[in-house]
């Protein structure tokens, strides 16, 4: 099972995790690291490293971060250059992580591609579509 670490500025990580708990319940091998005011980049790096070690089950770890080039992302990328089997994602949203929760048995690269796709298609506006009655050979 792929391990998951979520990190972002302020309470992005714990906040998004509270939404996950409400929708999908408590999750195994998921850790959150909040980058709080006054915390140093080094301190964040240490916490990210601990979290990644804790969730690693032998199948790799994905670090979900908030903005590209922000400190949580940057420190995660540095960490990924030092440890094996770590992928870092920026621009995390709830559709991305939620879809990922149901694909944690995938290979690390396939998982990463899938959650990025889910995050991208999840960012959308409502469009009213005409629904069509489907003609089915069998079934309903």
83 DSSP assignment: S
Question: 59: which 2 tokens?
Answer: 């199948």
CA 117-118-120 angle, 5° bins: 65
Using DSSP's 3-state secondary structure scheme, residue 95 falls into: helix
Residues that bind another protein (CB under 8 A): 22-26, 98-99, 102, 124, 126-131, 138-140
Tell me which residue of 64, 68, 63, 105 sits closest to 85, measured CA to CA: 63
Is the Cβ of residue 81 or residue 132 nearer to another protein in the bound state? 132
Least separation in angstroms between residue 17's CB and another protein is: 15
Is the Cβ of residue 130 or residue 135 nearer to another protein in the bound state? 130
Least separation in angstroms between residue 29's CB and another protein is: 13
Asked if residue 124 lies in contact with residue 38, where contact means CB atoms within 8 angstroms, the answer is no
Least separation in angstroms between residue 19's CB and another protein is: 9
CB count in 10 Å sphere of residue 133:
5
Is the Cβ of residue 81 or residue 124 nearer to another protein in the bound state? 124
Question: 16: which 2 tokens?
Answer: 């998004």
Is the Cβ of residue 23 or residue 107 nearer to another protein in the bound state? 23
Least separation in angstroms between residue 15's CB and another protein is: 16
């Amino acid at each position: 099972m792929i391990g998951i670490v979520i990190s972002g500025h302020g309470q992005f990580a714990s906040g998004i995790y509270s939404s996950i708990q409400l929708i999908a319940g408590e999750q195994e091998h998921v850790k959150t690291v909040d980058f709080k005011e006054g915390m140093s980049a080094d301190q964040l790096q240490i916490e990210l490293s601990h979290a990644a070690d804790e969730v690693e089950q032998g199948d790799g770890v994905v670090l979900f971060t908030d903005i590209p080039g922000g400190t949580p992302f940057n420190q995660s990328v540095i960490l990924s250059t030092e440890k094996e089997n770590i992928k870092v994602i920026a621009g995390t949203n709830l559709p991305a992580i939620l879809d990922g929760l149901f694909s944690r048995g995938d290979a690390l690269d396939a998982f990463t591609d899938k959650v990025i796709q889910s995050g991208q298609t999840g960012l959308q506006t409502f469009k009213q579509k005409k629904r069509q009655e489907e003609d089915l050979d069998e079934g309903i």
